């Protein structure tokens, strides 16, 4: 498989705290890559370097390179807004805007300059279909997004991300606030989405990583301990620490 994201000797500091230590990896296209590891090991931090959401945190320092489709995303001629359009993100807590279902999805396209009602209708429908939510909401698109259940809200957030036509979808524990059935729905959705998108997900749930991902990366204290095919990592880990973690001996 083709590598879409290449991370090369990446170090990240929050002030003086060394949060990511010399990380190198290649993340393949149109597949699901899962980040696992105990709390505070830097999974979210690494995920957020991929769409430069860490830029907002004062005192963050980065060296090394992160490139997507061959372009260094921390390079001089990169437009952060274009990057973030291409690299969508879904957060741990569903965070729809306090607007209608329709407006949530149409939001990004509208602000990126699409005004034709017909075009917007089309984007909204396609995105909601893409997020497996269309059938549930098609008759009340004008209702507030807050009238949806948590799982539906999370799928709405996925639809909202899909509406700006990303290539990559970052999911930071996107199911940890959801009930098992909603979680399962989102996992199935992820399986469908990987046909068209490259997905990187952070999860605390090892079963989830084992169920849905193609590659798994195990982190500890800001370092990559092991990175391999999911099946291999869970059945036959190379590192003792991985073995200990996946068998539940710590974390």
Partner 1 sequence: MSAKTADRIALSVIIAVAGIIMLVLAALLGYLLYRGLSHVSWHFLTSVPQPFRKGGGIGPQLFNSLFLLVLTMIITIPLGIGAGIYMSEYAKPNRLTNFIRLVVEVLSSFPSIVVGLFGLLVFVNLFHLKYSLAAGALALTVFNLPLMVRVTEQALRSVPQSQKEAGLALGLSRWKTIRSIMLPMAFPAIMTGTILAAGRVFGEAAALLFTAGMTTPRLDFTDWNPFHSTSPLNPFRPAETLAVHIWKINAEGRAPDAPEIAAGASAVLIIIVLLFNFGARALGRAIYRKFTATK
Ligand X SMILES: Nc1ncnc2c1ncn2[C@@H]1O[C@H](COP(=O)(O)OP(=O)(O)OP(=O)(O)O)[C@@H](O)[C@H]1O
Residue 43 CB, shortest distance to Mg ion, in Å, is 5
Segment near partner 1 (CB under 8 A); pick from 37-45, 69-77, 102-110, 123-131: 102-110
The residues binding ligand X (CB under 6 A) are 14, 17, 19, 37, 39-45, 57, 204
Within positions 17 to 76, which residues make up the interface with partner 1, using CB under 8 A?
Answer: 51, 53, 56, 58
> Min. distance of Cβ 42 from ligand X in angstroms?
4
Kindly tell me which residue out of 88, 130, 151, 222 binds partner 1, with binding defined by CB under 8 A. Answer: 88
Each residue of 74-84: b (16+ CB within 10 Å) or e?
beeeeeeeebb
As measured in angstroms, the least distance from the Cβ of 224 to ligand X is 12
| Site size toward partner 1, by CB under 8 A | 34
Residues that bind Mg ion (CB under 5 A): 44
Which among 139, 125, 51, 136 has a CA at the least distance from the CA of 90? Answer: 51
Is residue 151 a contact point for partner 1 (CB under 8 A)?
no
Element (H, E) at 20: strand 17-28
Torsion angles phi and psi, residue 48, rounded to 5: -75, -10
Say if residues 110 and 74 touch (Cβ distance below 8 Å): no
Query: CA distances (Å), 227 to each of 113, 181, 183, 209, in order?
Result: 40, 29, 25, 13
Q: Which does 105 bind (CB under 5 to 8 A by kind): partner 1, Mg ion, ligand X, none?
A: none
The residues, ordered by sequence, that sit 6+ positions from 157 with a Cβ below 8 Å of its Cβ are 90, 91, 94, 95, 96
Cβ nearer to partner 1, comparing 11 with 92: 92
Report the alpha-carbon distance of residue 240 to residue 237 in Å, rounded: 7
**85 near partner 1 (CB under 8 A):** yes
d(CA 106, CA 96): 12
Residues that bind partner 1 (CB under 8 A): 51, 53, 56, 58, 81-86, 88-89, 91, 93, 95-100, 103, 107-108, 111-112, 142-146, 157, 160-161, 164
């Amino acid at each position: 498989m083709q590598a879409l994201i290449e991370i090369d000797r990446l170090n990240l500091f929050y002030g003086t705290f060394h949060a990511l230590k010399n990380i190198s990896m290649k993340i393949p296209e149109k597949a699901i890559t899962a980040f696992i590891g105990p709390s505070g090991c830097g999974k979210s931090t690494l995920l957020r370097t991929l769409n430069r959401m860490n830029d907002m945190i004062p005192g963050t320092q980065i060296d090394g390179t992160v490139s997507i489709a061959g372009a260094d995303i921390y390079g001089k001629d990169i437009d952060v807004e274009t990057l973030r359009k291409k690299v969508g993100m879904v957060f741990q807590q569903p965070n729809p805007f306090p607007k209608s279902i329709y407006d949530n999805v149409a939001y990004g396209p509208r602000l990126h300059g699409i005004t034709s009602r017909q075009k917007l209708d089309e984007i909204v429908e396609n995105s909601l279909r893409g997020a497996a939510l269309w059938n549930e909401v098609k008759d009340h698109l004008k209702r507030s997004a807050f009238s949806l259940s948590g799982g539906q809200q999370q799928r709405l957030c996925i639809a909202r991300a899909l509406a700006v036509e990303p290539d990559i979808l970052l999911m930071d524990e996107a199911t940890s606030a959801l009930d098992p059935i909603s979680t399962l729905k989102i996992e199935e959705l992820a399986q469908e989405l990987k046909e068209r998108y490259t997905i990187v997900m952070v999860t605390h749930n090892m079963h989830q990583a084992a169920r849905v991902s193609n590659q798994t990366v195990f982190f500890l204290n800001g370092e990559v301990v092991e990175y391999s095919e999911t099946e291999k990592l869970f059945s036959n880990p190379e590192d003792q620490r991985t073995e200990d973690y996946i068998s539940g001996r710590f974390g």
